[in-house]
Amino acid sequence: MKFLNILLVLFIVGCMSSPSMQSNLETYIVQVESPENQISTQSMSMDLESWYNSFLPKSIASTSSNEEVPRLIYSYHNVMKGFAARLSADQVKEMKKKSGFVNAWPERILSLHTTRTQSFLGLKQNIGLWRDSNYGKGVIIGVLDSGIFPDHPSFSDRGMPPPPAKWKGKCESNFTTKCNNKLIGARIFPKENGSPIDDDGHGTHTASTAAGGFVKGANVYGNANGTAVGVAPLAHLAIYKVCDSFGCSDSGILAAMDVAIDDGVDILSLSLGSSTSPFYSDSIALGAYSATQRGILVSCSAGNSGPSESSVANEAPWILTVGASTLDRKIKATVQLGNKKVFEGESAFHSKFFSTKFVPLFDPSLNASESDSSYCGSGTLTDRAVKGKIVLCMIGGGYTRIAKGQAVKDAGGVGMILINRIEDGFTTSADAHVLPAMDVTYEDGMKIIDYMNSTKKHVARITFQGTILGDQNAPVVAGFSSRGPSIASRGILKPDIIGPGVNILAAWPTSMENNTNTKSTFNIISGTSMSCPHLSGVAALLKSAHPTWSPAAIKSAIMTTADTTNLANGPILDETLLPASIFAFGAGHVNPERANDPGLIYDTPVKDYVPYLCGLNYTNREVGNLLQRKVDCSEVKSIPEAQLNYPSFSITLGENPQTYTRTVTNVGEAKSSYIVEIVSSQGVSVTVKPSTLKFLKMNQKKTYQVTFSRTANSSTSGVVQGFLKWTSNRHSVRSPIAVVLEETATLDF
Ligand SMILES: *[C@@H]1O[C@H](CO)[C@@H](O)[C@H](O)[C@H]1NC(C)=O
Ligand SMILES: *[C@@H]1O[C@H](CO)[C@@H](O)[C@H](O)[C@H]1NC(C)=O
Ligand SMILES: *[C@@H]1O[C@H](CO)[C@@H](O)[C@H](O)[C@H]1NC(C)=O
Ligand SMILES: *[C@@H]1O[C@H](CO)[C@@H](O)[C@H](O)[C@H]1NC(C)=O
Ligand SMILES: *[C@@H]1O[C@H](CO)[C@@H](O)[C@H](O)[C@H]1NC(C)=O
Ligand SMILES: *[C@@H]1O[C@H](CO)[C@@H](O)[C@H](O)[C@H]1NC(C)=O
Ligand SMILES: *[C@@H]1O[C@H](CO)[C@@H](O)[C@H](O)[C@H]1NC(C)=O
């Protein structure tokens, strides 16, 4: 997977950047107090700039001409009071003495974490949510990513209205002519990096997934052929290029969010992230908080560090955190061995008119001259014996799947079998390989190696069956999709939701087939980077259909209506094909049509985050940094995390019962009545009071109490999952419940 690779590239860059020849300066993000107390102001933004500049070192006397001088890179206005600047460690030390200084940290480098999708999600032309939302008309989705390939037909503005009057964004640099009524903004962070053109492909893919227009006959080597369209095809796109081949710096991400808030975006889509950190020092959490305050919904990828526990990123409760699952589509390939055994896998190589003859297999790890050869790293396949053979390559080692194929091809190999990691389970990847190649599970890979060990004359043949629809196991949680529980806030269930993120076809800057005759170029890739823009698109549709809904209301509508069963009507499975944990899928798989009419919503007024943050035991200063104002937690009635008015529950339960309240708002029929249904597994009792909620008006609010306690025969530890569901004759509003049973020494059996 490419994301793994980007992470590795970053790691290498990170190692090399410290003993830099030219400069001992690093980019720091510096947080300062609001200038109000410090200086009197007329023009706020002018004074902010000079206030920020007053923190920079004045004396640059000792710098010789070829040395870099300290300088301001970004001034932040919305996301925080502060700036990013090139500084030395000593200069930061000096700065700390100045009055008004709050905090400084070196910038972190974050990593970047279709046709079938829309009908799989139940979106149909001229009916339902697409009709009600007018395909997302009038809504602006801001995409922070690697830029955009503007000439792609997915970004044509045929049938697009001009941007709404509130739009203040623009197309920077020499890009103006490239913009149109679909692509209404394109900015670069930092500006010196030139053009918003996407030289990676990732940003083009995510933007078209969220809001690409209809393009007929989209496919890769004939695979996944159909009409490509984004989730919200009439929404506008504003591109903020924050990533290049080195990764995505959080100083630039903050600057992009800062500007996007003023530009007037409605949704922010971030398919990037790093590992968990407390919200006050997590740039995406900081920026997303300010965006949420301004009514912008922020949708983020959960990360590709699954299936390890507690690997979820972007976990603040004001963010929609999106995990990844499969479609019902497979792009099938088959390997036959000389002993007649057959293994199925996936590949986006030619679907038709192609099959390799039986040829010998080659396992580079058996004859390793280079330590990386089992990963088929570029230049590691030096053995002449590779020629004419199908090569077995392990996933990983810092090489992309496509690059491994290229290495095999360069070494004279005629085919490749990619063997997954054991933890990938049954999640396989269909890539647009440069030679006949396919991806198999670890288990099947080992069987193929066993066969090689069993005979000297080992041969195999790969054939391609192409696109097969109707996998009844779908949606299956992808092995790579990051898992909860959240580390930054255990009391909030994360990820919130899953959406399509495996083998997603969407726009790409170049032809994977080296076909220069077409502008209609697509690629199939996987990651929570792909599921995030699906949810950003769904949020745009809901925003268009319900312009008054807050970000929290949209999130609630998506979560309480999610599907919790697969196409076969069984429980949602994970990469092992066993029922997935609630920490893998949160509220479930997005169901856009149902989200359009949720009945009740759990709204979270922004002011509720204050007692929540104090309840996380952050210091006054830490809470103040997030909220950009002075906060005294001793004057705020702090609440436990699980008391936040959130559409799901994540409870850590000891011996004592815990009671929380929730408030729901009626957005269904004015006159309606809901009764509660509770399903809890063994060991935990859940009670709700009252058990009936009667509404007489629209937007009427009702509060209920829910109590969690252990039953007498409760086991000592483990995770128990259940849900509570409010049902009327037209709606069902479901909240998932995760209970982690704490070991209790005093409980005696
Ligand atoms: C914009 O300028 C950059 C160099 O600064 C160039 O690489 C790019 O092709 C130009 N883009 C357009 C759309 O002209
Ligand atoms: C894709 O589908 C369209 C419409 O069914 C068809 O005309 C076209 O030939 C197909 N393309 C490929 C490469 O299979
Ligand atoms: C291992 O490498 C040697 C030297 O390159 C070569 O002669 C031999 O055939 C290789 N063995 C296998 C099993 O490919
Ligand atoms: C496309 O062209 C490049 C450069 O010539 C080559 O390395 C690559 O293998 C080609 N890809 C395919 C699918 O033929
Ligand atoms: C195949 O044989 C090699 C060398 O004899 C051994 O190291 C390896 O574990 C065997 N692999 C399997 C899957 O049996
Ligand atoms: C905050 O501190 C209180 C009191 O020590 C403790 O009960 C609570 O669990 C802490 N909350 C978190 C989120 O750590
Ligand atoms: C545990 O107790 C509950 C009632 O408190 C009962 O319904 C359940 O069957 C019991 N489970 C076992 C395994 O004894």
- With a cut of 90, say whether residue 307 has pLDDT above it: yes
Distance CA 58, CA 73 (A): 16
According to the model, what pLDDT value does residue 5 have? Answer: 28
- With a cut of 50, say whether residue 335 has pLDDT above it: yes
Copy the structure tokens of residue 384: 């002449």
Report which bound ligand comes closest to the CA of 215: 2
- With a cut of 50, say whether residue 511 has pLDDT above it: yes
- C-alpha distances (whole Å) from 619 to each of 184, 282, 628, 642 are 41, 16, 14, 19
- Mean pLDDT lowest among 318-327, 393-402, 446-455, 611-620: 393-402
| Mean model confidence pLDDT for the chain | 90
| pLDDT average, residue stretch 367-388 | 81
Report which bound ligand comes closest to the CA of 410: 4
Residue 112 lies in a domain: no
Report the 10 Å Cβ neighbour count for 454.
10
Q: Is residue 176 in contact with ligand 1, taking CB distance under 6 Å?
A: no
Among 202, 236, 458, 546, which one carries the catalytic annotation? 202
To the nearest 10 degrees (0 to 180), the angle between helices 551-560 and 528-545 is 110
- Mean pLDDT lowest among 98-112, 154-168, 312-326, 563-577: 98-112
Please indicate, yes or no, whether residues 92 and 145 belong to a single structural domain of this protein. Answer: no
CA atoms within 13 A on the CB side of 381: 29
Nearest CA to ligand 7 atom 7: 682
DSSP assignment of 386-438: GTTSEEEEESBTTB-HHHHHHHHHHTT-SEEEEE--GGGTT-------SSSEE
Copy the structure tokens of residue 181: 């009524």
Distance CA 31, CA 624 (A): 11
pLDDT band at 3 (very low <50, low <70, confident <90, very high): very low
CB 261 within 8 A of CB 79: yes
Q: Is 145 a catalytic residue?
A: yes
Please indicate, yes or no, whether residues 453 and 519 belong to a single structural domain of this protein. Answer: no
- With a cut of 70, say whether residue 572 has pLDDT above it: yes
| pLDDT average, residue stretch 368-390 | 83
CA 107 to chain centre: 21
According to the model, what pLDDT value does residue 45 have? Answer: 57
According to the model, what pLDDT value does residue 337 have? Answer: 97
- Mean pLDDT lowest among 317-326, 343-352, 535-544, 703-712: 343-352
Please indicate, yes or no, whether residues 507 and 484 belong to a single structural domain of this protein. Answer: yes
Copy the structure tokens of residue 442: 């670890």
Nearest CA to ligand 1 atom 13: 175
Task: Please indicate whether residue 52 or residue 246 has the higher confidence score (pLDDT).
Answer: 52
Residue 226 lies in a domain: yes
Stated length of the chain:
749
Please indicate, yes or no, whether residues 276 and 363 belong to a single structural domain of this protein. Answer: no
According to the model, what pLDDT value does residue 20 have? Answer: 35
CB 641 within 8 A of CB 492: yes
pLDDT band at 213 (very low <50, low <70, confident <90, very high): very high
Q: How far is the CA of 514 from the centre of ligand 4 (A)?
A: 6
Copy the structure tokens of residue 336: 């036959």
- With a cut of 60, say whether residue 29 has pLDDT above it: yes
Atom of ligand 1 nearest to the CA of 150: 13
Nearest CA to ligand 4 atom 14: 434
Please indicate, yes or no, whether residues 221 and 367 belong to a single structural domain of this protein. Answer: no
Residue 620 lies in a domain: no
Copy the structure tokens of residue 115: 């046709």
In angstroms and rounded to an integer, the radius of gyration of the C-alpha atoms of the chain is: 26
Q: How far is the CA of 613 from the centre of ligand 6 (A)?
A: 11
Identify the CA nearest to 648 among candidates 467, 466, 495, 465. Answer: 495
Task: Please indicate whether residue 76 or residue 245 has the higher confidence score (pLDDT).
Answer: 76
pLDDT band at 119 (very low <50, low <70, confident <90, very high): confident
Helical spans, DSSP H, in 185-281 = 202-211, 250-263
According to the model, what pLDDT value does residue 190 have? Answer: 87
According to the model, what pLDDT value does residue 147 have? Answer: 95
List the Cα angle 119/120/122 in 5-degree steps.
60
Identify the CA nearest to 462 among candidates 378, 363, 377, 389. Answer: 389
- With a cut of 70, say whether residue 228 has pLDDT above it: yes
Report which bound ligand comes closest to the CA of 195: 1
Burial class (CB in 10 A: 0-12, 13-18, 19+), 201: buried
| pLDDT average, residue stretch 479-485 | 96
- C-alpha distances (whole Å) from 62 to each of 59, 68, 128, 213, 693 are 8, 11, 67, 56, 72
Please indicate, yes or no, whether residues 651 and 737 belong to a single structural domain of this protein. Answer: yes
Global model pTM greater than 0.75: yes
Please indicate, yes or no, whether residues 282 and 362 belong to a single structural domain of this protein. Answer: no
According to the model, what pLDDT value does residue 126 have? Answer: 80
Q: How far is the CA of 194 from the centre of ligand 1 (A)?
A: 7
DSSP assignment of 608-647: GHHHHHHHTT--HHHHHHHHTS---GGGS----GGGS--S
Nearest CA to ligand 1 atom 8: 195
Residue 635 lies in a domain: no
Q: How far is the CA of 390 from the centre of ligand 3 (A)?
A: 15
pLDDT in tens, 518-541: 888 999 999 999 999 999 999 999
Residue 609 lies in a domain: no
Q: How far is the CA of 617 from the centre of ligand 6 (A)?
A: 6
Task: Please indicate whether residue 43 or residue 533 has the higher confidence score (pLDDT).
Answer: 533
- With a cut of 80, say whether residue 716 has pLDDT above it: no
Q: How far is the CA of 277 from the centre of ligand 1 (A)?
A: 37
**Domain-ending residue, one of 468, 503, 518:** 468
According to the model, what pLDDT value does residue 749 have? Answer: 43
According to the model, what pLDDT value does residue 516 have? Answer: 80
pLDDT band at 682 (very low <50, low <70, confident <90, very high): confident
| pLDDT average, residue stretch 607-616 | 97
Nearest CA to ligand 4 atom 1: 514
Distance CA 707, CA 644 (A): 15
With tokens 């860059």, the residue in question is: 13
Atom of ligand 6 nearest to the CA of 617: 1
**Domain-ending residue, one of 417, 436, 468:** 468
Distance CA 387, CA 321 (A): 46
Nearest CA to ligand 1 atom 9: 195
CATH code of 102's domain = 3.30.70
Identify the CA nearest to 527 among candidates 313, 319, 307, 303. Answer: 303
| pLDDT average, residue stretch 707-717 | 81
According to the model, what pLDDT value does residue 746 have? Answer: 52
Please indicate, yes or no, whether residues 142 and 156 belong to a single structural domain of this protein. Answer: yes
Distance CA 270, CA 303 (A): 11
According to the model, what pLDDT value does residue 454 have? Answer: 94
According to the model, what pLDDT value does residue 395 have? Answer: 92
| pLDDT average, residue stretch 125-146 | 92
DSSP assignment of 90-145: HHHHHHTTSTTEEEEEE--EEEE--HHHHHHTT--TTSHHHHHTGGGTT-EEEEEE
**Domain-ending residue, one of 468, 486, 517:** 468
Q: How far is the CA of 445 from the centre of ligand 5 (A)?
A: 12
CB 1 within 8 A of CB 480: yes
- With a cut of 60, say whether residue 65 has pLDDT above it: no
According to the model, what pLDDT value does residue 344 have? Answer: 97
Please indicate, yes or no, whether residues 483 and 535 belong to a single structural domain of this protein. Answer: yes
Phi and psi, residue 668, nearest 5°:
-95, -130
Kind of pairing between the strands at 247-249 and 243-244? antiparallel
Among 145, 372, 424, 608, which one carries the catalytic annotation? 145
According to the model, what pLDDT value does residue 19 have? Answer: 32
DSSP structure class, residue 712: T
Q: Is 529 a catalytic residue?
A: yes
Report the 10 Å Cβ neighbour count for 217.
12
pLDDT band at 711 (very low <50, low <70, confident <90, very high): confident
| pLDDT average, residue stretch 114-137 | 80
Which long-range CB contacts under 8 A does 689-692 form with residues at least 24 apart?
none
Distance CA 104, CA 281 (A): 10
According to the model, what pLDDT value does residue 747 have? Answer: 45
| pLDDT average, residue stretch 176-205 | 91
Residues with CB under 6 A from ligand 3: 366-367, 383, 385
What three-state secondary structure class fits 322?
A: strand
Identify the CA nearest to 211 among candidates 257, 261, 268, 288. Answer: 268
According to the model, what pLDDT value does residue 742 have? Answer: 86
According to the model, what pLDDT value does residue 115 have? Answer: 47
Q: Is residue 196 in contact with ligand 1, taking CB distance under 6 Å?
A: no
pLDDT in tens, 266-292: 999 999 998 899 999 999 999 999 999
Q: Is residue 454 in contact with ligand 5, taking CB distance under 6 Å?
A: no
Residues with CB under 6 A from ligand 7: 682, 711-713
Distance CA 89, CA 93 (A): 6
pLDDT band at 203 (very low <50, low <70, confident <90, very high): very high
Q: Is 20 a catalytic residue?
A: no
Residue 576 lies in a domain: yes
Please indicate, yes or no, whether residues 298 and 169 belong to a single structural domain of this protein. Answer: yes
Atom of ligand 4 nearest to the CA of 435: 13
Residue 313 lies in a domain: yes
Copy the structure tokens of residue 281: 């020092």
Q: What percent of the chain has pLDDT over 90?
A: 75
Q: What percent of the chain has pLDDT over 70?
A: 91
Among 489, 526, 529, 556, which one carries the catalytic annotation? 529
According to the model, what pLDDT value does residue 435 have? Answer: 92
- With a cut of 50, say whether residue 9 has pLDDT above it: no
According to the model, what pLDDT value does residue 117 have? Answer: 62
CB 554 within 8 A of CB 539: yes
Identify the CA nearest to 303 among candidates 523, 501, 570. Answer: 501
CATH code of 178's domain = 3.40.50.200
What three-state secondary structure class fits 373?
A: helix
List the Cα angle 206/209/212 in 5-degree steps.
110
Nearest CA to ligand 2 atom 6: 217
According to the model, what pLDDT value does residue 67 have? Answer: 67
Residue 639 lies in a domain: no
According to the model, what pLDDT value does residue 352 have? Answer: 61
Nearest CA to ligand 2 atom 12: 222
Please indicate, yes or no, whether residues 408 and 549 belong to a single structural domain of this protein. Answer: no
Task: Please indicate whether residue 245 or residue 367 has the higher confidence score (pLDDT).
Answer: 245
Q: How far is the CA of 477 from the centre of ligand 2 (A)?
A: 30
Please indicate, yes or no, whether residues 303 and 409 belong to a single structural domain of this protein. Answer: no
- With a cut of 90, say whether residue 441 has pLDDT above it: yes
CA 138 to chain centre: 24
- Structurally, the chain folds into a number of domains equal to 4
Task: Please indicate whether residue 399 or residue 647 has the higher confidence score (pLDDT).
Answer: 647
According to the model, what pLDDT value does residue 6 have? Answer: 30
CB 416 within 8 A of CB 435: yes
- With a cut of 80, say whether residue 725 has pLDDT above it: yes
- With a cut of 70, say whether residue 649 has pLDDT above it: yes
Range of the domain at 30: 26-36+46-57+67-106
CATH code of 359's domain = 3.50.30.30
